[in-house]
Each structure stands twice: as structure tokens, then as C-alpha cells.
Chain A
Amino acid sequence: MIITEQKELEEIVRSLRGRRRVFLIGCGVCAATWGTGGEKEAAGMEARLKEAGIDCAGWIVTEEATCDARTTRRVIRRNREAIASSDALLVLSCGAGVQTVAALADLPVYPALNTLFLARIQNLSVSDERCRLCGACILAETAAICPVTLCPKGLANGPCGGYEDGMCEVDRERDCAWVAIYERMEALGQRGQFTVIREPKDWREDLHPGFVNKRAQKASV
């Protein structure tokens, strides 16, 4: 799931300065689950904006993910009157959702959240980043623990010299990813995998912006 956090109200108010009226759009998937952009949060944001003196035309939460242009297009169409009476949209979703809305609406669109990372949600207050979307998954060779994400150096060939009692040199409160990988390999009887020397990553696999067109891919096969 994509983990987000709400921006400080001051920052949102600052970016909305000069706007007459704003309509709010929340995301019904990641931001709703994580409690940053669901119904409760959209209503709360509206109330806080009003308190700060910003006129609101209402809010809606996309039942699907805001980043799904197919469904967000319909949500925008259904709310066109409220949107037409506004001169700005404030989106409570990840950056992809904000830009999906911006591509569908011809008025200024602003983010209400900071987008943090792709994570496992352990419970409603704890989530930890698990994947950096690197474009060439190596989990098969690392005991299903991702060093690209969990080792701050992104090392691919074992630990650096900085771990201490199994904790990472960058943050002594966190496990060293490579000690964890080593121990899981041992536990699973896969210790031999550790000895494989991984070639330097081909960064073309991690080229941004990412773009996929499955139909064009099929056509070229």
C-alpha cells in the first residue's frame, strides 16, 4: 500500500492562497486505509479549512483508487456542479492520484498529502517500507527480504562493515537487512545463495518516468 501523511494545514492554506472556493477529493483505497484521505479525513479537512477561512464546496472520496483514471473520471463528472462552483481542487491521495485528477480537470489542483513509500501495513499505526519499485525484483535471491529497500546503501552482495549486534549503521534501531537475509537463508537452508556475486545493477531498469502500454507491447511481439 502507498503510505501518505497529511501536510501541515499552514502549508495547504498557503498553497490555496488567492483561491475563492475549493472542492476536496479523497482516495478510497490507500489513503482511506491509512487514515489520511478517507471520508473522515476529507470531512475533517473541510472543517479545518473553513476554520482557516477557506470556503469549501464539499468533498467526495473516490470509491476506487484516485489514481485509477477510469473511475476518477466518472467521479469528477458526477460532481461537476460542485467542481464548477470552485476554482481549485484539493486532493487527499498520493501524488499519482493528485496528477490523475489534474489530468482530468481544467482548474488548479493541489496535494493535501505527502507521499512517503510503498509499504506493508502492520496495523493502523505501523507501516514499513518494503519495496522501492526498482524494476528488476531480486527477492528470489535474497530470501524474500528486499535489500534495495531495507539497506540504506542498497547493497546487493552482503552487509557492509557497519552493522553492530545485527543493527544497521545508519539507524541502530533498525535491523541490518543483510544480517536478516543471511539469517533467513540459514533458517531456510539456502545459505548457498549468499555466495552468488550479483552484478552491478542495470539502472536502465529503474528509468523514470515509468511507462507501460501492454497493447503496444503485444503488438511488438
Chain B
Amino acid sequence: MSRLADAIACGEFVVTAELGPPKGTNVAHLLEMSELLRDHVHAVNVTDQQSSVMMVGSLTVCHLLLNRGIEPVFQVTCRDRNRIALQSDLLSAAVLGITNVLCLTGDYVTLGDHPQAKPVFDLDSVTLLKTVAVLQEGRDLSGKALTGVPSYFPGAVVSPAASPLGPQIAKMEKKVAAGAKFFQTQAVYDPAQFEAFVRQVEYLGVPILVGIILLKSAGMARFMNSNVAGVTVPDGLIDEIGSVPRPERAARAVAIGARLMREMNAMCQGVHIMTLGWERHVPRLLAEAGLAPSPSRSTNGE
């Protein structure tokens, strides 16, 4: 069962966040951060070796979260595993009760901290989504019957500010055809552009959770502009966050994030907050964005 799927099905405005596992075996901090999110989000994504940096596995952290009553979204990339390992991990997730799976291609290995590694990409995000669908039909990719049939709520990602946008939308269309039931987006900073994107993909009829990253500083914004594909922070926002003194930055970052959310909430079905260490600001962000606490987001509401 997936609380995320239920909330989306009910047409509720959905909130997800994102946590990155640690490099090393100490998960104390990660679990502490997850507690800050517990009562404010429908589900928490757990990244899969984000940016090709080696860390604890997403599946393990998803399991830890689920044990504590926090619904996880298992992120799966095609970078490090062939179709045998991917199917196996998907089955393992189902055995552990993890149903939300976010299917991604994955960054190339040279972007991370083991650039010497052999890249896999046996499947891609589209064929991974199809694999999820095949497993749900009780078969594996070679057509063999499964004993015990898994059930998933598969999602995918899209970059609304990709340039050019055409190939991005064409790929999104394929992901929907392959079974993606929801989309989380790359961070968006331009509501007008997002609105235009949403119009263009309306025909797909698929729920979209707009990506939000709090702008911690002007430096961070500039870094994203030059290093993160599909993210463009407009100069106005860079100036705004750069103009406030350091002690007031978090408050301003939250204010900017909340403003963006208020402008975009009506255009989509939810928000995906990539916290990057600022988990503690999520409650205030949601409050300022006008999202009243919802029993369906709180674990106590179950």
C-alpha cells in the first residue's frame, strides 16, 4: 500500500521530500533528519548514489524509514546495476513493503567520486519503468513466472527547464507510456516557464510534483546555474538572496521557496522538496506556502 498513491488518487496536494544516505555506516544524522520530515510529508525519497557518489544504498535506508513509519520513495538508477540486479532489488523492495519506486537513468559515473568505475546502463529509465510493469504482471524480463507478485507505485522525473524542451517532453511521454504514475521535477525557479511546461504536457494527464530547492545563498544559486543541468535561477532571485545578511538568509530562502510554491501550487498536484540539509525548515516552508497540516501527511493520521 502507498499513502502517496492514495493521496494522489484523492486529488490531495502531495508533499514529498528527499534524503541522501550517508557515506559510511552511521545513519544517526539521517534518521534525525527524517524525524524532522515525518509529520509534514507524504513520503520521503531516498537517493540512489546521488551524483554518482558512493553511499549507503537507497533500499536499506528506505527499509529503515519504513520501519519507523515514514513512507519512502525508493529511487532506482540504471547506472550501477544490470537488469538482473535491478529486478532483484525491485523484488527485494516489495518484500520489505516498499512500493513507491522512482525510476531514473542516473548520472554518468565520471560526475561522481569513482570516475574510474564501469558504467552499466543495461536498462534506461523507460525500460526500467517497463520492468516494474512486467514484474507487477507476475513475470520477469525473461518471461519466467514469479512466486508472489509485487505491487508498485512507479514514478519518474522530468526537467521542465530543459533546453531544448522538445526531447524532454518526448521522453516524458515515453515514461508515461511505460507506466510512470507520477512525476517529480528538477528544481524550478521560474513559475511562468513552469506554467508553459505544464500546459504542454497537460495532454499526458499525469500528476506532477514540482521540485523546490531552497536557495541557501547567491553562491549556491550560481553554482547550480553553471553545474546542474536543467536548473536556472533567475538573476532577480540571486540578487534577492545575495542582498540579505547571513543570519537572515534561511528566513529569506524559506520566503522565496514559499512564494514560488504559492505561485505554482495551483498548476500541479504536489511539491517535491529537495532539502539538502535544511530539513528543519520544511515545516515553516509549508506553513508559509499556505499548506495547512494535513492528517494524511502525518504518520499519526494513519
Contacts and interface: CB of A to CB of B under 8 A. Distances in A.
Interface of A: 152-166, 169-170, 176, 178-179, 182-183, 186, 191, 194-195, 197-201, 203
A152 B157 contact: no
A186 B167 CA distance: 10
Contact of A152 (B119, B159, B170): B119
B126 to A, nearest CB: 4
Nearest to A196: B174
Contacts of A178: 167, 171
Query: Of B110, B124, B164, B186, which is in contact with the most chain A CB atoms at under 10 Å from its CB?
Result: B124
Interface string B113-125: 0000001011111
Question: Binding site of A, secondary structure by majority: helix, strand, loop or mixed?
Answer: loop
Contacts of B111: 169-170
A201 B107 CA distance: 20
Given A155-B105, A197-B127, 9 more contacts: A159-B171, A160-B125, A161-B162, A163-B229, A164-B163, A178-B167, A182-B167, A197-B130, A200-B123
Given A157-B171, A169-B111, A195-B170, A163 B119 contact: no
Given A155-B121, A169-B229, A179-B167, A195 B173 contact: yes
B170 to A, nearest CB: 5
A195 B177 contact: yes
Nearest to B167: A182
Contacts of B298: none
Nearest to A156: B124
A160 B166 contact: no
Given A152-B119, A169-B111, A160 B105 contact: yes
B109 to A, nearest CB: 9
Interface in B79-129: 83, 104-108, 110-111, 119, 121-127
A157 B124 CA distance: 7
A186 to B, nearest CB: 7
Contact of B126 (A153, A158, A166): A158
B167 A162 contact: no
A162 B122 contact: no
Interface residues of B, number: 36
7 contacts: A152-B108, A156-B127, A157-B171, A161-B162, A165-B163, A169-B107, A203-B122
A150 to B, nearest CB: 14
B141 interface: yes
Contacts of A197: 126-127, 130, 174, 177-178
A157 B126 contact: yes
A186 B124 contact: no
Nearest to B130: A197
B76 to A, nearest CB: 14
A17 B166 CA distance: 58
A186 B170 CA distance: 12
B89 to A, nearest CB: 16
Nearest to B157: A161
Given A170-B110, A200-B127, A153 B105 contact: yes
B171 A164 contact: no
A72 B246 CA distance: 74
A176 B168 CA distance: 12
A162 B168 contact: no
A163 B186 CA distance: 13
Nearest to A155: B124
Nearest to B126: A157
A179 B110 CA distance: 21
Contact of B162 (A154, A163, A183, A194): A163
A200 B83 contact: yes
B107 A162 contact: yes
Contact of A158 (B159, B164, B170): B170
B270 interface: no
B127 A157 contact: yes
Interface string B138-165: 0001000000000000000111001110
B230 interface: yes
Contacts of A160: 105-106, 124-125
Contact of A166 (B108, B121, B164): B164
A161 B126 CA distance: 13
